Amino acid sequence: MRVLFLLAAGNTLLASAFFIPSTDAAAQRNFNTIFDEADQRILVAPPHQFIQAGPNDRRGPCPGLNSLANHGFISRTGVDSFVNIVAACNQVYRMGTAASTAAAVLGMFGGNLLDPTLPLSIGEPPSIIGLPGPLVAAPPTGLTNTHNQFECDASLTRCDLYLCNDSHTLQPKYLEPLLDMYTADPSIANSVAIVSQHHANRIADSIANNGLFFFGPVQMIVGAFTALQAPSLFANYSAEQPEGFMSVAGLMSIYGVSRAASGTLTWTRGSERIPDVYYRRPGPLLNQWDMPIILPQVLQMWAQFPETLSIGGNLGTPNTFFPLDLGAFTNGSYTLDDLQKPGGINLLCFLYQLVQILFPALLGNVDDLLAGVFAEVGRVTEGVLGTFDCPRSMDAVNMTMLNQYPGWVKSLPKTKAALPTDQSYMQQSHLGRSPLEVPV
């Protein structure tokens, strides 16, 4: 199946969100020759000085987005448009356009699909003042409330929602071991392995403590991708270490934590801060953190720590993890072995096809809007979109197989309960249905 990016019609939305995966060799870059002080220095002077978020500013589970808001690279209110968020991720941290677009598309589960600029709250629900009538009845939830849509269990530093009733507050006890590992070895060469180890530990912890732990196919992949952002985007790519360095002080600053003389680690909401002298990844496309780099990193994570490839969940009590039979779930299209094939094309295609199956309403609804948005994304990021070939197709999945997992089932009602009772606006709207109606 050949997928052409930026086709105007049909289910091409997520295709637009991916670059061509190249060979693993593309990940073996050498940044030494291309350090560029002017291009890589993150300028945090006014108007991008750090200002701690106020109580009415939205902040959520993503330290990257929180830091962008605290520096005014996106609105300091924490509510900004799809394009601005993608552009800021690309320009400030050099997250590739494809990766940031894909993240922002998933983020739209907490966003406002009735507004052509596709505003998204990076945290709590946005104010309903000024929202069109239908959204007052079914307001955007904000990223914080996208559990099992985007936000998921076993995060690097956040607790599982059904374990702590809070999955956006940083828990120092989860960050501490990660800091310890990077303190012991801050070289970039091992940074993926270290975060992978931590990710594996967090999954084991969730299995051991959270009876409602759920790690479906989407959650497993989101968990891997978001974990890998820390070493790849929070590292300091300075002249001295142009290939990157896991600056523990930098990591703490961007995560918004400080250490008291007693050694106690404290997180303060809205304090995620980019250090005064810090360097982003180099600018050329192949150095940006995008699919040609992400896919090999994910494969490396799975190879070294196979438990990070766990798809399934607990059955209501701790330590009852029951794997999902991926072959049966995908009607034979993919097995776990297929996902691990070198190059990552199966992984990319599986994710792309799965998202199209699971999120048809979201994709269908925003396709027209996003055609325009993508043109704008390409303009502001000078991004290049391309094509990729999927060796195999997947047309349907057996969603009922997920009902054996109580953590999944518990996350479903919120989408239905939040629906307005009067849905007459749906027929009038070009969107057709509420964003909150989308089953994931």
State the amino acid at position 309 in one-letter form: L
Q: Which among 44-52, 146-154, 243-251, 264-272 is the span making contact with ligand HEM, rule CB under 6 A?
A: 146-154
Among residues 80, 151, 272, 437, which is the contact residue for ligand HEM, using CB under 6 A? Answer: 151
- Work out how close the CB of 394 gets to ligand HEM at its nearest, in angstroms, rounded to a whole number: 24
Residues linked to residue 2 through DSSP beta bridges, in sequence order: 389
Contact (CB, 8 A) for 433 and 426: yes
State the amino acid at position 258 in one-letter form: S
State the amino acid at position 274 in one-letter form: I
Token pair of 364, please? 């269908």
Residues 210-239 that bind ligand HEM (CB under 6 A): 223, 226, 229-230, 233
- Work out how close the CB of 432 gets to ligand HEM at its nearest, in angstroms, rounded to a whole number: 23
Which residue, 154 or 295, is less far from ligand HEM as judged by CB? 154
80 to 99: interface string for ligand HEM, x by CB under 6 A: -----xx--x---x-x----
CA angle 227, 62, 93 (to 5 degrees): 75
Closest CA to 112 of 86, 130, 91, 90: 130
Q: Is the dihedral of CA 172, 178, 182, 185 positive or negative?
A: positive
The span from the CA of 94 to the CA of 338, in Å, is 30
- Work out how close the CB of 61 gets to ligand HEM at its nearest, in angstroms, rounded to a whole number: 4
Token pair of 287, please? 């150095």
Count of Cβ atoms closer than 10 Å to residue 12 Cβ: 20
Among residues 53, 156, 163, 274, which is the contact residue for ligand HEM, using CB under 6 A? Answer: 156
Tell me the number of residues near ligand HEM by CB under 6 A.
27
- Work out how close the CB of 255 gets to ligand HEM at its nearest, in angstroms, rounded to a whole number: 7
**Residue written as tokens 């096809």?**
353
100 binds ligand HEM (CB under 6 A): yes
182 binds ligand HEM (CB under 6 A): no
Chain center to CA of 126:
20
152 binds ligand HEM (CB under 6 A): yes
Residues 53-72 that bind ligand HEM (CB under 6 A): 61-65
Residues 349-388 that bind ligand HEM (CB under 6 A): none
